[in-house]
Amino acid sequence: MYKPIEVTDDIFYVGVNDRTKHLFESLWPLPQGVSYNSYIVRDKKTALIDTVDICYSDLFMRKIRSVLGDTGIDYLVVNHMEPDHSGSIEFLVSRYPNIQIVGNKRTLEMLKGFYGITDNVIEVKDSDEMSLGKYTLQFYMTPMVHWPETMMTYVKEAKTLFSADAFGTFGTLDGGVLDTQLCPERYRDEMIRYYSNIVGIRFACANCPEKTG
């Protein structure tokens, strides 16, 4: 049984650490592993923000159940479709067949292309809001940070932003998820490597394709 990691009273981290993969995207070395980050916003309606790599679906489900027990999930918000975020979507749908998947137009196109999912989807646009009860989700489109469908989700009342890969890093999360629970300095080199190889280079490609090829 897992002890839920609380971010706030109603927001929980249910992501996982991957200490076995050697190369991220089969290209970038992972000397300190990597984490796949997912969160639950628990309210009258419950939302799950992103999923994890498919290799960790079982562990992911056990972590979700440690927070929700037998309670269902109303919404899955897909901020990013890269498989380290979206890989467990099919698994999740098989366990929660009534879950509604929230994404933008490009997300839903990719959802169909990647996983053949077209039912129970909700399309959102920039600045759209969705009420869960006492919490409100706001959606902001952030294309090419670092894929075309990328968006961010902000919980207004909790002042919490789920920022997809924008402020990501390589390295596992060992023992906590907040800066106050970790040693941010330990991640400095991996943050720079992540930004320069994963986020920055593709941002440059989107704006200067003739220069970066």
By beta-carbon proximity to Fe ion, the closer residue of 18 and 74 is 18
By beta-carbon proximity to Fe ion, the closer residue of 81 and 155 is 81
CB atoms within 10 A of CB 133: 12
By beta-carbon proximity to Fe ion, the closer residue of 43 and 165 is 165
By beta-carbon proximity to Fe ion, the closer residue of 74 and 165 is 165
Instruction: Give me the residue label for tokens 């989807």.
Output: 121
User: Nearest-5° angle of CA 23, CA 25, CA 29?
Assistant: 25
Residues 6+ apart with CB under 8 A from 128: 138, 139
Q: Tell which residue, 83, 154, 156, has the closest CA to residue 115.
A: 83
Query: Which of 43, 50, 165, 190 forms a contact with Fe ion (CB under 5 A)?
Result: 165
> Least distance to Fe ion from the beta carbon of 6, Å?
26
Span interacting with Fe ion, options 7-15, 56-64, 75-83, 109-117, rule CB under 5 A: 75-83
Which helix (H) or strand (E) segment holds residue 17: the answer is strand 16-18
Span interacting with Fe ion, options 1-9, 56-64, 70-78, 163-171, rule CB under 5 A: 163-171
Does the protein bind Fe ion through residue 50 (CB under 5 A)?
Answer: no
- Number of residue whose CB is nearest Fe ion: 82
Residues touching Fe ion, count (CB under 5 A): 2
CA dist., res. 111 & res. 210, Å (int): 29
Which helix (H) or strand (E) segment holds residue 106: the answer is helix 105-115
Of 121-160, binders to Fe ion (CB under 5 A) are: none
Binding mask 78-107 for Fe ion (x = CB under 5 A): ----x-------------------------
CA dist., res. 194 & res. 69, Å (int): 35
Applying CB under 5 A, the residues found at the interface with Fe ion are 82, 165
